[in-house]
Amino acid sequence: MATDDDNDILTGAVPEPDAPASSSERTHAKTFAELVDKSLTGRTPPPAMSADDRALLEVATVIRAASGNVELSAGKRRSIVEDALRQAVGGAGATKSGSVTPIARGRTRRWAPWAIAAASTFVAAAAILLLWLRGPAKTVTPPVERSAEIPTEWKSRPADPLIGPIKQEHAGDASDRIDAIFADRLDGYRDRALTARGRKAP
Amino acid sequence: MKYLVLLLAVIGITACSCSSEKVEPTPTTHTAEPTEVIDQDLMIALSKAKNFHHKARVYMSDGKLAEATASVREIMALKFPAGAPEAEDVRNDARALLAKLLVSQNQLDEAMRTVQEGIAQSQRESFFVANLYTVKGEIHEARAATLDPKDPAQAAQLVEEKHAAISAYDKSNDINSALQNKLMEDR
């Protein structure tokens, strides 16, 4: 509680080191001790206090925390333990608190980017190595139909070997000759277009 | 999850860059020209020529020489594949028949023109060209037959036609002999 005496301590004359404490100093010390006790035991601090008291209270809290003797309340401890157990067994409420992360998942999250980056680098290096080591690209050229490979009976060709010399008495028998030519060429055309040998040919 | 997507993207890009098999497009130039093999166009042209000949034969059997002549003329207009040797053979054979039909209708000059056109347009010697010379000889004979040997004005022309007929027959024989020898050598 702030009083006018508080100001006397800060603004008044500095007492001698061995001088006995005044009554106002005792009162102020007792009040501040109660304030520190309330803060450390978790009780509600007073709604208003002087800036000097607040600064001193914070310093006291830091000093106590640094000493390692801070203990959580029983309810708080129980809540944290239950949260950790829930996360460990993968319970639905595991993420409710969000303050505790399972150790295994934490490790995974830490190493995953590095592992994926390493794998990507490896794949890229392998691709570059492959491109470098392989020879010139092989070109697949479609087979070309060569004239020499075509059977004679598939070719368009003069009809002389088929017809032979034409006697004078048969000079006008063109109808018979066209029948022979057509039949012969049809055989070749069918052989090329319909048989397995013809279909395999380029 | 985003790292996994990134990894898959890197692998995908790498896989695309590694597709090394290059397939060249089909060359537009073949060593075998379309006319070197028997194709559908050639068969269609031969089929039409065959049918026109049969049609002409039916007309001739009925004595309809004009209709038969028209049918044979259709063969000349048929479109064969470019460079097909059969085209020249079929047309020359049709010309020989056409000339004989014209001779039978006493159109000797037209018959002679038909035969001479065929000989002039031929790219090579064949049995069909030899046959044209044979028909040419027949036309000369037919012309000679129309001349009066007792008429001094026609006597010289008569001798000339007979000599031309002999020359045509000789030319036909020469072509036939040369071709036969060549075919024998090829075997």
Is B36–A150 a contact, with Cβ atoms under 8 angstroms apart?
yes
pLDDT at B29: 35
Which residues are registered as beta bridge partners of B23? A140
Chain B, window 32-51: residues with a beta carbon less than 8 angstroms from a chain A beta carbon? 32, 35-40, 42-43, 46-47, 49-50
Rounded Cα–Cα distance for residues B91 and B28 (Å): 32
Rounded to an integer, the average pLDDT of B92-120 is 97
Q: For each of chain A's 202 residues, which pLDDT tens digit applies?
A: 444 444 556 667 777 788 888 888 888 888 888 888 887 777 777 777 778 888 888 888 888 777 766 667 788 888 888 888 888 876 555 455 455 555 666 677 778 888 889 998 999 999 899 888 876 665 555 555 555 678 888 999 999 999 999 999 999 999 999 999 999 999 999 988 887 666 666 5
C-alpha count within 13 angstroms, C-beta hemisphere, residue B130: 21
pLDDT tens readout for residues B38-88: 999 999 999 999 999 999 999 999 999 999 999 999 999 999 999 899 999
Chain B, window 71-100: residues with a beta carbon less than 8 angstroms from a chain A beta carbon? 81, 83-86, 89-90, 93-94, 96-97, 100
Q: Which residue of B has its CA nearest to A136?
A: B20
Say whether residue B133 is in contact with chain A using an 8 A CB cutoff.
Answer: no
Q: State the residue for tokens 């038969």.
A: B68
pLDDT at A16: 79
Q: What is the maximum alpha-carbon separation in chain B?
A: 118
Say whether residue A116 is in contact with chain B using an 8 A CB cutoff.
Answer: yes
Q: Which residue pairs from A63-69 have beta carbons closer than 8 angstroms and sit at least 24 positions apart in sequence?
A: A64/A40
* Percent of residues, chain B, with pLDDT higher than 70: 81
Chain A, window 167-196: residues with a beta carbon less than 8 angstroms from a chain B beta carbon? 168, 171-172, 174-175, 177-179, 181-182, 185-186, 188-189, 192
pLDDT at B20: 47
Q: Which residues of B touch A181 (CB under 8 A)?
A: 46, 86, 89-90
* Percent of residues, chain B, with pLDDT higher than 90: 75
In this model, does residue B118 exceed pLDDT 90? Answer: yes
Rounded Cα–Cα distance for residues B137 and B118 (Å): 14
Contacts of A101 (CB under 8 A, 6+ apart): A87
Q: What is the pLDDT confidence band of residue B33, given thresholds at 50, 70 and 90? A: very low
Rounded Cα–Cα distance for residues B57 and B52 (Å): 9
Q: What is the pLDDT confidence band of residue B3, given thresholds at 50, 70 and 90? A: low
pLDDT at A100: 54
Rounded Cα–Cα distance for residues A132 and A23 (Å): 92
Greater model confidence, B24 or A140: A140
